[in-house]
Structure 1
Amino acid sequence: MAVEVLYRSSRDPERLFMDKAEADRYDKMLELAESLAEVLHRAVPDISEKQAEDIGIYMARHREVFAKAFKNQPDALNELSDKG
């Protein structure tokens, strides 16, 4: 009988990972997404919580691209249209 070690996301308990580092990266991404959603909701009060959450997750998942764009490389955002 084989034994497998699984790691559970602390922010998304339904999500399991085979690698602790991957689980940690996912939790950090969700933490960033939550912070972004809060900022978006404060900046645009008419936005729904769901929309702010979805935008926060999108931005957190693609944070490297957004970081490039914010560092005077706005063309970096073209990479996102390739990803869908």
Structure 2
Amino acid sequence: MAVEVVYRSSRDLERLFMDKAEADRHDKMLELAELLGSVLKNAVPSLSEEQLEEAGIYMAKNRDVFARAFKSQPDALNELINGAKAE
């Protein structure tokens, strides 16, 4: 009988990971997504909770593209518009 070590995300109990670093990255992405959703809720109160969650996760998953766009490379967003990093 083999023993397998798995890691569970503390923010997403359904997901299991074979690598602790990967589980940590997933937790950090979900934490960022939650904060982004809170910011978006303040900016656009009419968004539903589902829309806020989806937008927050999308932005968190594509944080590198958004970071480049905010650092004076707005054309980086074309990657998302053209579907290069779309889910």
TM (normalized to structure 2)? Answer: 0.93
- The runs of 4+ residues in structure 1 deviating greater than 3 Å are none
Paired residues, number: 84
* Structure 1 counterpart of 2:84: 82
* Aligned twin of 1:30: 30
1:42-77 Cα distance to aligned partner (Å, 9 max, x none): 111111111011000000000000000000101111
Question: 5+ residue gaps in structure 1?
Answer: none
Unaligned runs of 5+ in 2: none
Q: Give the whole-Å Cα distance in 2 for the aligned partners of 1:52 and 1:24.
A: 22
Q: Over the residues paired in the alignment, what is the CA RMSD in angstroms?
A: 0.8
Return the TM-score normalized by structure 1: 0.96
Distance 2:53 2:77 in 1: 20
Higher helix share: 1
